[in-house]
Each structure stands twice: as C-alpha cells, then as structure tokens.
Amino acid sequence: MQEIESDIYYENSYPGVTLGVLILPLGTLLIDAPLRAEDARTWRSAINGLGGNAKKLLVNIDSHTDRTLGARALECTIIAHQKTAQVFRTRPSIFKGQNAESGSEWETQNESVGTRWAVPDITFSQNVSLHWGEPDVILEHHPGPAAGALWVVIPDKKVVFVGDAVLANQPAFLANADIPTWLEALDVLASSYSGYVIISGRGGPVAAVEIRRQQEHLRHIQAELQNLAGQNASVEATEMAIPYLMADFKISAKLEEQYTQRLRHGLYQYYIRYYHPAESGDAA
C-alpha cells in the first residue's frame, strides 16, 4: 500500500485494478474492490490496520467486472452512478463467467466464477459530495470508458482517482465506451486538474503525458474504425486494425495475447454499436 497524501492510499498489488482508500474522521472510503474474494478479505484486513472509523463506504468507479466482482467480500455499503447500477440490473445474481473473450483480468482468475454480485446501495445522477470530516470528497460523473464512469476527487489534497479514463501502457476497453465523450473527459482532466496526483484504475499514478497518450490512442482507434466504415467494411474487418493499434504500446510478450484479445473484442463491439448497428444481433 502506497501513501499519496496523509491518510490517502493506493494499492496496486492485487490482480484486477488499482485500489484506493481514504481514512476520514467519520469513516473510511474504499475505491473499487479486489477481484478475488480472498484478496478482498486481505485488503479489508489491511485497511482495518490503518485505524480510523469502522464505518466504510465503497465506490464503484464503473461497472467493469474487474473492479466490482469482489465487492461483496468487503462487507460495506456501496455507492455508484445510477447508470452503473442499471448495468447490475441486467446481470444474473451470480457471476457465471460467460463470453470470456474481453481481455479482462477476471478471465485469468477461474475462481471468480460463481461469485455473487453486490449491487450498489446508493446511486446518484451527476455529482455528490461526501462530508466525513476534512478533506471533503467529490464523486464526479465523467462518462467515456463507460456510461456510469466517475472520478473520486479530493480537491484540498489535489488527488483524483480516474478509473479507466487513463490506462497506463495498455489498450482501452471499448465494448461499453463512447470515444468522443471519453476524449472530452480527458480534455477536462488535462485542463482542470493540473497539479493533481492522478491515479489510474490500472497502473496507479500517471503523469500528464499519459493523458496525451490516452487521447492519441483513442483518436487512433477512431481513425481506424472510420476508415473501415468509409469502405463499408464488415465487422470482421476490424481485426485488421489490431496490429496498428498495438503499436501504440510497449508491452511484454506475457501480456500480448491478453491485450490483443482486448482490442479484438472491443473493436468488434464498438464497430457494431456505432458503425454497423444493423448487425448488433450478431454480437457475442
């Protein structure tokens, strides 16, 4: 666990996503959950060791399986954007792990299948402020990676947790994304959060240069898909864009297959939704 500012931490050692925790005078705020239930229990114990008020609130930054599947094991109240909560209403109560082809981290963890989802208890439509003693915390809706994506902002400490808005040296998740909206969110991040410590949901602290790289990657995706759409190419033709998009990253051979599959799945789903909606019934 790494301390960013006094009583503000991130944890990057568990499979899944980067976690956050804020120890506040009137309670403890958790940001996302470890993927595996056993890790969630270990994380909960580590948080208890930091002291603070026993009252806990867990923030779902978005609905991605990697950051929400282990939430029940944290045994606390959950808050999320209302559009994230809507996603849970379409899921079966128990995670069955079908369609394991998205390049997500949960697909490498077989023990995750059979986990029972924890549905958000509290939702909001735009922004919400949490006053549990100084510093105040703001949950801001910033869609793009997902319709219900949010950021956790601590203005007095100049720290912001941005989830999948910025991913460190890895391709974007596109299946539920809206690239133009995502680019707008990144413009806001670059212009309005200068001087902040920015915590990516996959990789921990990122510099301002990573915001620009994320924008370049998303624009590269747009250009490739628009080119295919201009040729009236089939959905299967999105496969041809993968080598060009993978060139945006320097990744190890160990991760190449997973990240390639992430792009394959995401490009296919995004192309269907925005360029060939008539074929949406054929999507996996």
The one-letter amino acid at 111: E
Contacts 24+ apart (CB under 8 A), 95-100: 95/65, 95/69, 99/284
pLDDT of residue 29: 95
Coil, strand or helix at 8: strand
Q: Are 151 and 163 in contact (CB under 8 A)?
A: yes
Note down the domain range covering 189: 2-206
Coil, strand or helix at 149: coil
Q: Are 248 and 224 in contact (CB under 8 A)?
A: no
Q: Are 130 and 111 in contact (CB under 8 A)?
A: no
What is the spatial distance between Cα 127 and Cα 211, in angstroms, rounded to a whole number?
Answer: 22
β-pair partners for 28: 23, 56
Total number of residues shown for the chain: 284
Answer yes or no: is 170 within a domain.
yes
**Which residues lie below 8 Å from residue 211, measured CB to CB, with a gap of 6+?**
166, 186, 189, 190, 198
**Left, alpha or beta for 32 (phi > 0: left; psi -120 to 50: alpha)?**
left
CATH number of the structural domain spanning residue 62:
3.60.15.10
Answer yes or no: is 273 within a domain.
no
Answer yes or no: is 32 within a domain.
yes
Answer yes or no: is 254 within a domain.
no
Helical segments of the chain, H only: 37-48, 65-68, 82-89, 179-192, 208-230, 242-246, 253-274
Looking at the 3D structure of the chain, how many domains does it have?
1
Please name which of 79, 76, 73 lies closest in space to residue 95, comparing C-alpha atoms.
73
Coil, strand or helix at 243: helix
What's this model's pTM, rounded to 2 decimal places? 0.91
Q: Are 218 and 183 in contact (CB under 8 A)?
A: yes
Answer yes or no: is 78 within a domain.
yes
The one-letter amino acid at 16: G
Answer yes or no: is 257 within a domain.
no
Answer yes or no: is 231 within a domain.
no
Answer yes or no: is 253 within a domain.
no
Find the Cα–Cα–Cα–Cα dihedral 149, 61, 241, 169, rounded to 10°.
130
CA distances to 9, 61, 135, 245 from 130, rounded to whole Å, are: 17, 15, 9, 39
Per-residue pLDDT of the chain (284 residues; tens, 9 = 90+): 899 999 999 999 998 899 999 999 999 999 999 988 888 889 988 998 887 677 899 999 999 988 998 898 888 999 999 999 999 888 877 776 666 688 788 777 766 666 778 889 999 998 999 999 889 999 999 999 999 999 999 999 999 999 999 998 899 999 999 999 999 999 999 999 999 999 999 999 999 999 999 999 999 999 999 999 888 888 999 999 999 998 888 888 888 888 899 999 999 999 999 887 555 443 33
Q: Are 55 and 63 in contact (CB under 8 A)?
A: no
β-pair partners for 200: 163, 204
Q: Are 14 and 112 in contact (CB under 8 A)?
A: no
pLDDT of residue 99: 62
Q: Are 165 and 149 in contact (CB under 8 A)?
A: yes
pLDDT of residue 251: 86
